[in-house]
Structure 1
């Protein structure tokens, strides 16, 4: 029986990305894992090889560095070693407000959340459309629907780009989907020093459930995967309420 093909995942050493790696390996995908921390990449790769008997390639890279990003893009564009699924998951968050942050920090976030998604998607889509099959999952955020500064703006771009690519390349056999989680129990918020008390307990999601449901939505060909009824309700409300009113209603925002 042929394998499901190779999946390249950015940010696969913890949280949502690690769950994608484990669940895709369980499906039989060979993997290419991309992250800055080479030792953690090797640990995850060894775990997945042992648990699932798949081939796992590690590709250490900082996606905020253009030269290293281009190496990952070159791997995606390699026609001799095709990648069938790209998961753009690498994260970057800033706790402080826009004018408090150094502009280079803001630029770094933009480079990872927008530029990397743009360039890696471009590299992947060429070979995928030539073969007439493939897929991209862009990990966005419910924040994309809310006026919360540059993080939200970056994720809004991811949503818009993903929806356009879904419609543009779907007829050519390539599925593109934006995954829009809310608060998820991962290292992401811990690294930003955001405590679990920052949001009601019912808003916190388990990463394993999030990824399982996202893959089910991807299999169905959906353009967006919004987890749980509560987050679907939040997104629906955000579309109905004027942006200025939404921003004033939020107790914590970015300026």
Structure 2
């Protein structure tokens, strides 16, 4: 395919984990990719590899999406390159582990900015591109979106927002050709645990977790199918459904037990 006629995907949080793996999935399928994150050197290494392996164009843009102006600046930078995107992967995000009354406020506000505001701003600003190209949005949510999460209260709440937002705009966009998919993985071997400082949580300690590559591949396929919500793994799917039939106090008690430091 001529590079001037290729579709282009923008992937946030593309320097590592699920974002890096998603970039490979898009490139393998013939998309040009825009990689956005703070770690420029890691993204440049990935961009060089993807261009060599798949013959696509990979553009690296430094973006600090934890700041108020970061998402709007990323949109401006993409437009300055003269690029119209046809897929948006809102993947950047992180979590924090610990008791809410003991945690620092500023990291939680930065997490809310990244996990929530950035998703809304980028979806809004790039919507004209996506409508023009009948494109796709892939928002990385989590199985955390389906219930409150003691020890990660703010993180779970941000992912509940992402899931609700994704399903709502997916319904609004029905008939436009634009699809929206909320990818809701469980704990994944992605570097997320390092950032969240949750290696002592019962959710992950001593457990074999799926890889970022496995989650990204499954999520990418769900996006291409236009599936609105995708939960990788049978056990994750069952756990996500259980709050619908369980008293809410019991749900939070179970999550607290499953997440507690061990």
TM-score after normalising by structure 1: 0.92
List 4+ stretches of structure 1 deviating above 6 A.
Answer: 200-203
What CA distance in whole angstroms lies between the structure 2 residues aligned with 1:75 and 1:210? 29
| Residue 57 of structure 1: aligned partner | 59
| Residue 137 of structure 2: aligned partner | 136
1:244/1:203 CA distance change after superposition, 3 Å: farther
Matches within 5 A, 1:29-178: 29-75=31-77, 80-129=82-131, 131=132, 133-148=134-149, 149-178=153-182
Q: Once the two structures are superposed, what CA deviation does each residue of 1:14-67 show, in whole Å capped at 9, x if it has no partner?
A: 111111011111111101000011111211111111111110111101101123
- 1:153 CA drift (Å): 0.8
RMSD: 2.2
Q: What runs of 5+ residues in structure 2 fail to find an aligned partner?
A: none
What CA distance in whole angstroms lies between the structure 2 residues aligned with 1:163 and 1:45? 31
Secondary structure of the residue aligned to 2:173 is helix
| Residue 220 of structure 1: aligned partner | 225
* Higher mean C-alpha displacement, 144-153 vs 107-116: 144-153
| Residue 247 of structure 2: aligned partner | 242
Corresponding pairs, count? 253
| Residue 205 of structure 1: aligned partner | 210
Q: What runs of 5+ residues in structure 1 fail to find an aligned partner?
A: none
1:228/1:196 CA distance change after superposition, 3 Å: farther
* Higher mean C-alpha displacement, 91-100 vs 197-206: 197-206
Secondary structure of the residue aligned to 1:205 is coil
| Residue 183 of structure 2: aligned partner | 179
